[in-house]
Chains A and B, each alone.
Chain A
Amino acid sequence: MSVATADGLTLAGRDRRFGLLLTAPGLLSLLIVITFPLFFTLFTSVHDYTLLTPNYDTFVGLENYEEALDEEYLPGSLWVTTKFVLASIVIEFIIGFAVALSLHATRRFGSIYYLILLAPLLINPVVVGLLWRMLLHSELGIINYAIGLVGISPVSWLGDADIAFWTVVLTDIWHQVSFMAILLVAGLAALPREPYEAARMDGASTISCFIHITLPLMRPVIAVAILLRMIFAIKTFDIVFIMTKGGPGTATDLISYYIYRAAFFGLDIGRASAMAAGLLVIIVALTAYLYRYMNSLK
Chain B
Amino acid sequence: MRLFLSVLAALALGIGAAQAQTIRILMETVPDTRYIQELLPQFEEETGIDVEIEAISYIDMHSKLVPQLIAPEGSYDLIVVDFYWVGEFTKAGWLMPLDDLVERDGVDVDVYVPKLMDLVGRVEGVLYMLPFYNYSMALIYRQDLIDDADEQAAFQDAYGMELRVPQTWDEYWKQVEFFTRDTDGDGNRDFYGTVIQGQRGDCISMQWANYLYSQGGLYHDENWNPLLDSPEAIRAMEYYREAVENYSPAGSEAYCFDEAFNVMAQGRAYSFVTFNILYAGFEDPESSEVAGKVGITPNPGGGLNGGWGWAIPNSSPNKEAAWTFMKWAESAAVAKERAMLGGAPTQAGIFTDADVVAARPYYPILGEILAGTKDFPVFTYTTEFVEQVGLELNLAATGEKPVAEAMASAQERLHALLVKDGKIEE
Among A94-102, A193-201, A264-272, the stretch that binds chain B is A264-272
Quick check: A154 and B92 within 8 Å, CB to CB? no
B384 x A249 contact (CB < 8 A): no
Query: With A and B bound together, what is the CA distance between A135 and B311 in angstroms?
Result: 39
Contact call B400/A248, Cβ cutoff below 8 A: yes
Which residues of chain B (50-68) have a CB below 8 Å from chain A? Answer: 59, 62-63, 66
Residues of A within 8 A of B384 (CB): 265-267
What is the bound-complex CA distance between A137 and B262, given in angstroms?
10
Chain B residues lying within 8 Å of A265, measured Cβ to Cβ, are: 383-384, 386-387
Contact B254 A247 (CB under 8 A): yes
**Of all chain A residues, which has the CB nearest B269?**
A139
Q: Nearest residue in A to B383 (C-beta to C-beta)?
A: A265
What is the 8 Å Cβ interface bit string for chain B, positions 251-295, against chain A (1 contact, 0 not)? 111110001001100101000000000000000000000000000
Contact B201 A245 (CB under 8 A): yes
Please pick, from B66, B92, B200, the residue contacting A248 in the complex, using a CB distance under 8 A: B200
Chain B residues within 8 Å of A53, by CB: 92
Q: Is the CB of B253 within 8 A of A248?
A: yes
From residue A287, how far is it (CB to closest CB) to chain B in Å? 28
A160 close to chain B: CB less than 8 A = yes
Of A51, A159, A245, A267, which is within 8 A of B398 by CB?
A: A159
Q: Indicate if the CB atoms of A241 and B250 lie closer than 8 Å.
A: no
- Cα–Cα distance between A53 and B262 once the two chains are bound (Å): 42
User: Contacts A52-B88, A244-B254: A261 and B188 contacting too (C-beta < 8 A)?
Assistant: no
B391 within 8 A of A: yes
Contact A140 B250 (CB under 8 A): no
Are B59 and A241 touching (Cβ within 8 A)?
yes
Cβ of B423 within 8 Å of any chain A Cβ, yes or no, is: no
Give the interface SS of chain A, mostly helix, strand, loop or mixed. Answer: loop
Judge whether A73 and B391 touch: CB under 8 Å. yes
Let me know if A61 is at the binding interface, CB within 8 A: no
Say whether B70 faces chain A, with CB atoms less than 8 Å apart.
Answer: yes
Please tell me if the beta carbons of B254 and A164 are within 8 angstroms of each other in the complex: yes
- State whether B383 touches A54 (Cβ < 8 A): no
| Interface majority SS (helix, strand, loop, mixed), chain B | helix
The answer, yes or no, to whether B164 is at the interface (CB within 8 Å) is: no
Within the complex, the shortest CB–CB distance from A263 to chain B, in Å, comes to: 9
Is B121 interfacial (CB 8 A cutoff)? Answer: no
**Judging by beta carbons under 8 Å apart, are B249 and A139 in contact?**
yes
- Could you say which residues of chain B place their CB within 8 Å of the CB of A52? 88, 91-92, 380
| Cβ-based interface call for B315 (8 A) | no
Taking a contact as CB atoms closer than 8 A, the residue among A140, A246, A261, A267 that contacts B263 in the complex is: A140
CA distance A245 to B266 in the complex (A): 25
Q: Hey, which chain B residues are within 8 Å of A164, CB to CB? A: 254
Question: Is the pair A249, B394 in contact by a Cβ cutoff of 8 Å?
Answer: yes
Given the interface pairs A137-B262, A264-B62, the reply to whether A249 lies near B400 with Cβ below 8 Å is yes
Q: Is B395 an interface residue (CB 8 A)?
A: yes
**Closest residue on chain A to residue B192 by CB atoms:** A139
Alpha-carbon distance A52/B382, docked complex (angstroms): 13
- Per-residue A-contact encoding for B184-211, CB less than 8 Å = 1, 0 else: 0000100000000011110100000000
Known contacts: A139-B268, A153-B188, A250-B391. The answer to whether A159 contacts B251 by CB under 8 A is yes
What does the 1/0 interface line of A272-296 toward B look like (CB < 8 Å)?
0000000000000000000000000
Q: Could you tell me if A157 and B380 are in contact, using CB atoms closer than 8 angstroms?
A: no
Interface residue? A161 (CB, 8 A):
yes
Tell me how far the C-beta of B108 lies from the nearest C-beta in chain A, rounded to whole angstroms: 33
Q: A156-B251, A161-B400 are in contact. Are A137 and B259 (CB under 8 A)?
A: yes
Extra A-B contacts (11), CB below 8 Å, given A137-B251, A245-B199, A249-B395: A51-B92, A52-B380, A140-B268, A154-B188, A158-B254, A247-B254, A247-B391, A248-B198, A249-B394, A250-B391, A266-B384
Residue contacts A-B, CB under 8 angstroms, 11 given: A51-B88, A138-B254, A139-B262, A140-B262, A154-B251, A157-B251, A159-B198, A247-B391, A249-B200, A264-B66, A265-B386
Q: Which residues of A contact B (CB under 8 A)?
A: 51-54, 73, 133, 137-140, 153-154, 156-161, 164, 241, 244-250, 261, 264-267
Which are the 7 A-B pairs with shortest beta-carbon distances? A138-B251, A247-B200, A159-B251, A156-B251, A158-B254, A159-B254, A249-B400
